[in-house]
Every structure is written in C-alpha cells, then in structure tokens.
Chains A and B, each alone.
Chain A
C-alpha cells in the first residue's frame, strides 16, 4: 500500500502544470529576455510583453490590490513594459515580489523611471495583516498595511476567484489597517514573531495542544484556541474537498458542501484526539479476529476479550496491612585512625673516646647492607596449551560428488609464552656484625664508651575527625489495622472471553477448538482429513530448497535443526529426481503417480506424485538482467558468508551468456552501486568488483532494495529475465517499518516484471521466515547456501533453470474417492495450502516451476476398512455419500493447473489414479522410495509422533537402497547426515 502512495505522488507530480496565462507570459518574457540578450528585438516586437494592451481601469486607482503573486508579477510587467529590458531586471529582483497576498499602490510605480531596487515583504500571519514595504529607488519608503483575507475567514471571501484586482478607495500613500498603526521604519526583513509560529508548524502546535491540554498557561491557551480555530477551518476545507473527491463526477458542488458539512470540524477532531479508550468509562478492547489457511482448513484465532472498568471497591472487613517504618538516622563524630601508632627503630651510634696508650681490643660495629640483586630473563606462559575441535569440510570431486565426508579433528593449540625480565635477590640484605680492632693513632687508642645501640621510638597515631550518618533505629515493619468500609478506586480488568482457536472446514463448521496455538500446532502435524467430509485437497507447488540446506548446515555444526525450520516439501524437493518428462508441448506436465504400502504404518498407503514439466526447446536463452544485491554488513565478514558469496557469484558468472547484464549493489550503512549494469562478457570487470567487496557497517536494507530495483529497471529487458538476487545473512529489516511493508514493496515490483531470489548465508542471523516470504512474494527462489557445493547446485547447475520459468501459478488438486479411501494426509506443503475454490481461480497466486525442476508430493492414505483410521466414523451421518458415488475403484483424481509465463489463463490436466498405479515398495522406483525416506526423516525431525515406531536406522536403510546412481552425491550426503542425526539425538 505504501507503493500506491508513491505511485500516487508520482502521478500527482507529473500532472501539475502552470496555468496557461503564466505559461504564456513566462514564455513571452523569456523570449524577450532572449532578444535582449542577443539583440534581436526588432524582429520580434510583436511577440513581447510590450505589445500586450495594458488593462484599463488600473492606472487611475491609487491602491489597487492584488491578491495573488502571479498577478502582481504580471501587473508589474505591464507597468514596466515601456522598456523591453526590464524583464531581465525583473529576473534579478522579482523573487522578492512573490508574496502572495499583497497590497500594492500601483500608481506609485506608474510613472517611475526606474525599476524598484528592492521590494521586501512581511506578513503577519496572526494579525491577518500583510505589510509591504517597498523602497523605490532608495528615495522613498512606503509602508502599507491592510486587512487581508485569511484562511480562518473563508465565508467573508465571497468574491469569485477570478477577480484579481480589488479597488480600494484612493488614499495618500498610506492605507491604515483597522487595528495596526503604520510603522514607516519597521525593519522589513525581520519576520514577525507571530508569523514564526504560523501555519507551517500547525501540526507541531496541534501536537502540543493535544499533549499540553489543561496544564497550558492562559496565554498559551489563547494561542491554542486560535490555532484550534484555524485547524478546524483546515479540517473543514479538507473535508470539503474530500467530499468533492469521493463524490462521483456528476455530483454537484452543493452536494459536496452538504457532505462536508455533515462532517463537522468537531467530529474530525474528536476522531483524532479522543478515540483512545478512557479508563473509567468502561472500555472494551475489541481485537480483530485473525484467520489463516491451514491445509484447506481455516484456523480462526479469536483473541481474548477484556473489559477494563474503573470501579469503586469498598473493603468489606477490617484488615491489617504491613506498614514500613523508615529507619531514623543520627550524625556521629568519629575519630578515624589514619595511621596507627607505630614504632621506629633509631640507631644511636657508639660513642668513642681517645685514651692514652695503645690498647689491644676490638669493638663490634653493625653495618646495614642492602640486598644484592640480579636480573634474569625467563619464559612466561601467557596461555596454556589447549585443544580444539575443527570441522573439516567435505572434499568434493570435480564432478561434485563427495570424496571425503565432513569430519572433525582435534587440533592442539600450542601454549603462548613470552620472555620476561625478573629481578631476583642474590644475597639478602641485613645487618652485618663486624668486629673492628680499636683504632690506634699517635699513641692514643679510641675506645668505645657507649656501645652502639638501637632504641625504639614510638610514633604516635595520626587520627582524623569525621562525621558519619548512622542508623539510629533500623527500618521496621508494623502491622496497621485497615478499618472496614474504605472506598478504593481500582481498575478492574475482567476477561469476557478467553483466547480461542477454532479450526473450521470450508463450510465454516468448527472441527476442533484449541486453547493455545501450541495445542493446535501439535494437532496440525498429525492432521488427517476424512475423505467423506472433505474429499478435495488443494495446494500450490513449491520448489524452494532452503529448509534442506539449513538442516544440513545444522547437522554439520553438530546441532539438530529446530523443528520449525523443517519444511517437508523443501526437503523432498531438494533432490533431483529422474521423473518421466512429457513428450510434447501438448502435455505440459506429466504426473508420475505411484501408490505403495507405507513403510512406517502397515495399515496405510502412500501416494507419491512426481511432476515434471515439458522443457521447450529454446532457440536461444533469453537475455538475463541480473542485479546482485549484496549484504556487506559487518555480520557478513565470516568465512561462510561474504567470501563464500563472492565465490558463489563467480560460479554463476561462468554460466551467463555474453549479452547478459550484471550489476552489483551493496547495502551496509548506506546503499551504493558497486557495479553499474555491465555486460556479462566483461567478466574481469565483474570479478574485480566482487573481489573488492568488504564487509562492515550496519544493514540499510530498504535503501539497498530500492537501489537494486532501480538498477534492474535501468537495464530492463522486456523479453528477458529480470531478477534481483539478494544475498544476505537475513538481518534485513532496517528501513522498513514492518515485514508486511517490505513484502508489499516486493510484490509491487514483481508486477513490473522484476523478480527477486533470496540466497541465505551463515547461520547466526539467518532469518528464514522473512527470506522465505520475500522470495515467495517476489516470484523467486529462496535457497540457503552453506557450502560452495550448494552454491554450485543452486546457482551454477540450476542457473539456467532457476532463471527460466516454464510455468507459473502451478496448483495441484487431488480428489479422493470415498469408496476406497477413508482418510488422507498431505505430507508437507502446510504453508502452501489453497482453498478448494482457489484452484480454478486464476487470480490466486501460486508457485512457479522453472526448467529442470521437479515437484514431488506425498500423501498418506488410509484405505476404507483400515484400522489405522484416526477419526471415528460419525454415528448419525453414516456414509454421507452412500449411493452417490459412481462405484469407481480409483483412489484419487489428480488435477494440475498452470499458466504459461506470459499468460494469465490457466490450463488444466488430469490424471486418474487407481489400482493400476499400485505396487509393492520394492518395485517402486528409486526416486519414489528415496523421497519417502526423506519425508520420513523430515517428519521425525519435526517431532511427528506417528513415526515414533519407525527408526532413523530404517529410514537410512530405505534411503540407502534407493540411492541409485547419485551422480552428484546428494543422496549419499543425506544418508550420512541422517546417520549423524541418529547420533546427535543422544
């Protein structure tokens, strides 16, 4: 719908045109200017403005009034028409004249020898006064004020709009406004303060009015009142023209007016402002009921209904409640010890005395020796050695088959060390005792009087006084008695009806109801349909394969995929099947149908439908116009994203023809074109552009899509294939306010002939649902690329097929025979179910089939009389169809409808299925049995309970026996993956 808006804007912009008169005048003025510029006046005198007769009746009036700027312009041109060059001068100053409602005393200009040098205008919106001050030739200054027509007084303006000149009584120079005094010297360039809050910001003020409401200051309120008045007027005007617009062309003006009046301004305002539910006035919140199609049934979600009421509740009995009493505090002065008292040791050296005589002896000295250090270099372990598990990707043969499967290997990460310098004590310091002999000098001996000693000195503590807030009484709770009879106002929300889900059949009859969606989902996967009640199953084909690739990459990472990511049809359709193809174009599709016993339930049968389309011989491949839209946001930096993407696109490049066109657009932070549309023959240029891609920034998806479609449009080929290929890790929502909006956008673009394919990369951000929806809406394929081999499968192998659509809107409808089949269940295609009547409705969109694609669908059938029947037969409506069937022994009737890509009319093909198509499982084709094995695994992964008795090992055996040639190794890979699944479950 947003695109409708855009188209409408485009239409509106294209449709506007200047009025004929101004166009004529403009052209004349321009021609005159041309003549002036190139001196060709004499040739052209008859064409210039000068030749136009001056309107009469204006020259005598002193204060002629022009109501619109264009008229002012024309008028002035008339006035200055005596000089052909004036038009040029006008060009330089005319812009200043474009105020729309002006009063100009034109007589003042009448005989002026010169053009005005400057004319400036000032509009006081609020006072409804327009002022114009004109400096003429810098000699005179005239200010004219006058009451001007304003929007808020529409009724007063009764004169026809054609009337452009209004005579007002002659007056000398100044025409005084009724209210304002004239100010000759008022600076004209400064806009009036009132005008600043003028109509331009009405919407702001409206918002302000809404939010400020009652708290507004008196003067503000006064202003608001004015704006409200004006807004009402605008609303009325809008309503008026809306009325005129929605009314049929024949509707008279009076009708439109009446319509507009019916919608009073107040009505409009109240719609805007007061619709919100007001609590207290009993507001019921009615939410819409949502319905969705589920396998031919309709799931109706009825949301819970609430009622909110402001109720006064009277407490009936006295009660107690706990009241918290806050703690009380007091400030205390504390003495804090900053540094505790300590003891210092002070050495007092020995005292000596010189005595006569040489005395033998010795004294002990104490020497404090510092420690001796040594620096050493040593290796320090920064990170211990560790091991990690490395996934080794599978190795592929040149033909795409797997040479060695993926495996894991333990790798030792060596320890990280660094050299560090460390200082070690070589010899600890300490006090050394030394015995020193007495010093003898000149017959005197120095003897100690007092030995050296160490005294303890007490260093007093350093304290500080601090103030501290301490809790005097701690917080406590107290019980308080609440007396009876207290009135309380409370909002009471009552559930009128709880949330419900109803499953209805086509006739609207409720089949089952559920309390939650989960309950329904559980039921859905086991949903079987009773043939007698609903004999027809209808669905759209789907050739997407993304679900399978995602499954593979999950398993390779060692995780089971979430059950919501399993789409059975995408898993089954991933594998190439060698179905028999139609022999001629007369038979567009061939349905290869086999009915076999069901390996997971002996009491039911499987009906396998394999469809292959006729691939027309093409003289030449249609030209491809491809725009790669590449997500280069920061999250794409990983090895399995952008680098894989670049390699993938290089693969695709090799399959393109020389005259195909390739463009590259990236988006991250901002969108940009990396490669303008380039012929595919210029491979080096394209490869270089791909090689230069770097990841970084956040995702600007909307702008990217916008640009990509624009590029596709630039090199659009009506006969060719035009496709945007979006490659992303799924983080794709910046710029669009909702997924819905994005889908609508893509859908619109599809109608212009540009299709969208989506390639998913990586696993962190992968937004499966969104990408699925994008591709479905864009008529394209959604694929998940986890390895280069997958890229090869999707892009290179199928590039031809992925790009050439052989049929569109392909729908399948199967009618079951209640004589032979009692119940059926379509395996997969849940998201692709169609209504019965949609089958024949060519307007209903369905899936596309490209050249080379096959489509496989499998039904589980419960034959009549089988004990496997899930739904008990009805007691009262026994055999609804008895006597009405034709007694055929057929099982089902398969119908296929499709349209050729260029056609809007569908073609029908039918295939009756009976005992002739039935065979034992062993005799069924490899393709059929393999598809069944995939279906079984998919259902088990999804958690379908009715396969609990069928083990993965049995599925592996079934698949292994049906492996066939398996040229590309896809089937072998599947078997390997299922083996891993079995291991991962524990």
Chain B
C-alpha cells in the first residue's frame, strides 16, 4: 500500500503525521539526498552528517510542503541548499585535509576498488566549481533533464546546458593533466 504510493502522496500523508509514510520517504530518498550533498561537499563524512541533519529537520519542513512541485525536486533543492550552507559556514581547508585523511584510511582498507573510485571522483569534483558540482549531481547523478535541474537550482535551462559543456571540458583537462591519473581511472 505504502510501497506503491507515489512520493507526493507520501509527503502529504507524512505532513499529516502518518509515521509509516514518512519512514517510506526516508528509506526511498535518504541516499539520493546524500548523493547530492556529497557531490557538492566532496567529503563523505561531512556529507553523511549534513544528510542526517537534513532529514532530522525534515519533519519540521513537512508543514511547508505544498504539493506544488515533485517531492524529488523539493528534496534536491533542500539538499543543494543545505550543502551550500554547510560550505559557507565552514572554512573548507580542514575538510579537504580530512578528505585526504579519509582517502588514506580507505586506501588501507579492503575496499580497494571502492576507494579508487572515490579518489577519482574526488579529483574530478575538485576540478569543478560549486555551481558545476550541483549541476553534475542533478543531471548526471540523478539523471534529470536540463529543465528539471534548472528548476531545482533556479537557473535557466540554457545555463545548465552551458554548465554541462563546461563540465565536459574540465573533465577532459583533468584527464590530460592529472598525471594521466584520470585516464587510467577510466580503464
């Protein structure tokens, strides 16, 4: 019953205090929010924290749910904004050091493949500015079309198109400059 309900229905029911509906929304979209936050923050543990924070604040925000947009669009907007806020509130250096520490820890762990992917992703995201990261998270990570991504980020569709070509360009530069690392990561 709940499993088959669409997001918008669930959100409406959760807003009226239906616990199971909220839990379903949580399990459905928890990772999605994390992915978007991660793309913007580029740091796993921070992203995990911010994701927890977002969801913890979600019940309070449910009252504002008007059912005008799609739940995913709404969530993406919240995720992007929370991630950006988080960046703004903190100096980012410490975070970067930490992300290297994390990478280093991971490199000792057993998940060799996973960490390599993370490392590549990290260097890929590093070449992108905040705007481009948000865009990549929505268009590539969440497979939104340009209009949808533009709606979430509050920019024109053409801007998203421009950003995509920009992302493509930067990634290419990464592949060429990055000690050949980016290219090898493609293998």
A positions within 8 Å CB-CB of B: 1-6, 8-10, 12-19, 22-23, 25-27, 29-38, 40, 43-44, 67-70, 73, 87-88, 90-92, 94-101, 121, 123, 125, 130, 149-151, 154, 157, 160-161, 191, 195-196, 198-200, 234-235, 237-238, 240-242, 244-246, 249, 253, 256, 268, 271-272, 670-673, 676, 700, 702-707, 710, 713-714, 735-737, 741, 745
B116 lies within 8 A of A16 (CB) = no
CB contact between B30 and one of A18, A87, A92 (< 8 Å): that residue? A18
- Assembly CA distance A97 to B52 (angstroms): 13
- Assembly CA distance A5 to B107 (angstroms): 23
**Known pairs A9-B136, A154-B104, A241-B115; A26 contacts B91 (CB<8 A):** no
Chain A residues, CB < 8 A from B58: 30, 33-34
Chain A residues, CB < 8 A from B137: 13
- Give the most central of B96, B97, B185: most A CB within 10 Å: B97
B22 lies within 8 A of A673 (CB) = no
Chain B residues, CB < 8 A from A741: 172
User: Is B184 an interface residue, CB under 8 A from the partner?
Assistant: yes
User: Is B171 an interface residue, CB under 8 A from the partner?
Assistant: yes
A40 lies within 8 A of B27 (CB) = no
A706 lies within 8 A of B97 (CB) = no
A737 lies within 8 A of B179 (CB) = no
Chain B residues, CB < 8 A from A271: 179
- Assembly CA distance A88 to B108 (angstroms): 36
Question: Which residue on B lies nearest to A14, using beta carbons?
Answer: B141
**Known pairs A12-B117, A244-B107; A737 contacts B94 (CB<8 A):** no
- Assembly CA distance A100 to B97 (angstroms): 9
User: Is B3 an interface residue, CB under 8 A from the partner?
Assistant: no
Chain A residues, CB < 8 A from B90: 95-96, 98-99, 121
CB contact between A6 and one of B95, B96, B140, B156 (< 8 Å): that residue? B140
B146 lies within 8 A of A710 (CB) = yes
A6 lies within 8 A of B100 (CB) = no
A30 lies within 8 A of B55 (CB) = yes
B116 lies within 8 A of A241 (CB) = yes
Question: Which residue on A lies nearest to B123, using beta carbons?
Answer: A238
User: Is B106 an interface residue, CB under 8 A from the partner?
Assistant: yes
Contact bitstring B147-187, A, C-beta under 8 A = 1, else 0: 10000000011111110110111011011000101101111
Chain A residues, CB < 8 A from B49: 22, 69-70, 73, 94-95, 97-98
Chain A residues, CB < 8 A from B172: 1-2, 5, 737, 741
- Assembly CA distance A2 to B93 (angstroms): 29
- Assembly CA distance A246 to B168 (angstroms): 24
Chain A residues, CB < 8 A from B89: 95-96
Contact bitstring B17-35, A, C-beta under 8 A = 1, else 0: 1010011001100110011
A-B contact pairs, 19 of them (CB 8 A): A6-B140, A9-B140, A13-B39, A22-B49, A30-B56, A34-B19, A40-B19, A68-B102, A69-B45, A87-B56, A94-B53, A97-B49, A123-B94, A244-B107, A244-B112, A246-B184, A249-B113, A673-B147, A706-B146
User: Is B124 an interface residue, CB under 8 A from the partner?
Assistant: yes
- Assembly CA distance A90 to B140 (angstroms): 32
Question: Which residue on B lies nearest to A77, using beta carbons?
Answer: B52
Contact bitstring B81-102, A, C-beta under 8 A = 1, else 0: 0000110011111111111111
**Known pairs A34-B19, A69-B98; A241 contacts B119 (CB<8 A):** yes
A130 to chain B, nearest CB (A): 7
- Give the most central of B102, B159, B165: most A CB within 10 Å: B165
B42 to chain A, nearest CB (A): 10
A98 lies within 8 A of B46 (CB) = yes
Chain A residues, CB < 8 A from B80: none
**Known pairs A13-B39, A33-B56, A706-B164; A69 contacts B116 (CB<8 A):** no
A237 to chain B, nearest CB (A): 6
Chain B residues, CB < 8 A from A70: 45, 48-49
For the A-B complex with A98-B49, A673-B157 known, give 17 more contacts whose Cβ atoms are closer than 8 Å: A6-B140, A6-B167, A9-B124, A10-B141, A10-B143, A14-B35, A18-B30, A26-B51, A27-B23, A29-B52, A34-B19, A68-B98, A95-B53, A198-B94, A703-B164, A705-B165, A735-B162
B145 to chain A, nearest CB (A): 5
CB contact between A242 and one of B44, B52, B116 (< 8 Å): that residue? B116
B92 lies within 8 A of A16 (CB) = no
A209 to chain B, nearest CB (A): 15
CB contact between A13 and one of B44, B85, B141 (< 8 Å): that residue? B141
- Assembly CA distance A34 to B98 (angstroms): 32
- Assembly CA distance A121 to B90 (angstroms): 9
Chain B residues, CB < 8 A from A9: 121, 124, 136, 140, 167, 171
CB contact between B104 and one of A92, A151, A672 (< 8 Å): that residue? A151
Chain A residues, CB < 8 A from B102: 68, 100
B107 lies within 8 A of A241 (CB) = yes
A22 lies within 8 A of B48 (CB) = yes
A199 lies within 8 A of B136 (CB) = no
B179 to chain A, nearest CB (A): 6
Chain B residues, CB < 8 A from A2: 168-169, 171-172, 175
- Assembly CA distance A157 to B104 (angstroms): 10
A235 to chain B, nearest CB (A): 7
Chain B residues, CB < 8 A from A238: 119, 123, 179, 181
Chain B residues, CB < 8 A from A30: 22, 26, 52, 55-56, 58-59
B140 lies within 8 A of A27 (CB) = no
Question: Which residue on A lies nearest to B133, using beta carbons?
Answer: A13
Chain A residues, CB < 8 A from B146: 706-707, 710
- Assembly CA distance A956 to B163 (angstroms): 54
Chain A residues, CB < 8 A from B187: 245-246
Chain B residues, CB < 8 A from A714: 145, 147
Question: Which residue on B lies nearest to A88, using beta carbons?
Answer: B56
A703 lies within 8 A of B101 (CB) = no
A15 lies within 8 A of B52 (CB) = no
User: Is B120 an interface residue, CB under 8 A from the partner?
Assistant: yes
A161 lies within 8 A of B34 (CB) = no
Chain B residues, CB < 8 A from A240: 107
A5 lies within 8 A of B168 (CB) = yes
User: Which 4 pairs from chain A and chain B are nearest by CB?
Assistant: A100-B98, A198-B93, A13-B141, A123-B94
Chain A residues, CB < 8 A from B39: 13
Chain B residues, CB < 8 A from A710: 145-146, 161
B39 to chain A, nearest CB (A): 6
Chain B residues, CB < 8 A from A101: 94, 97-98, 101
Chain A residues, CB < 8 A from B47: 18
- Assembly CA distance A417 to B108 (angstroms): 89
Chain B residues, CB < 8 A from A27: 23, 26-27, 30, 55
- Assembly CA distance A90 to B50 (angstroms): 11
Question: Which residue on A lies nearest to B124, using beta carbons?
Answer: A9
B104 lies within 8 A of A237 (CB) = yes
B46 lies within 8 A of A245 (CB) = no
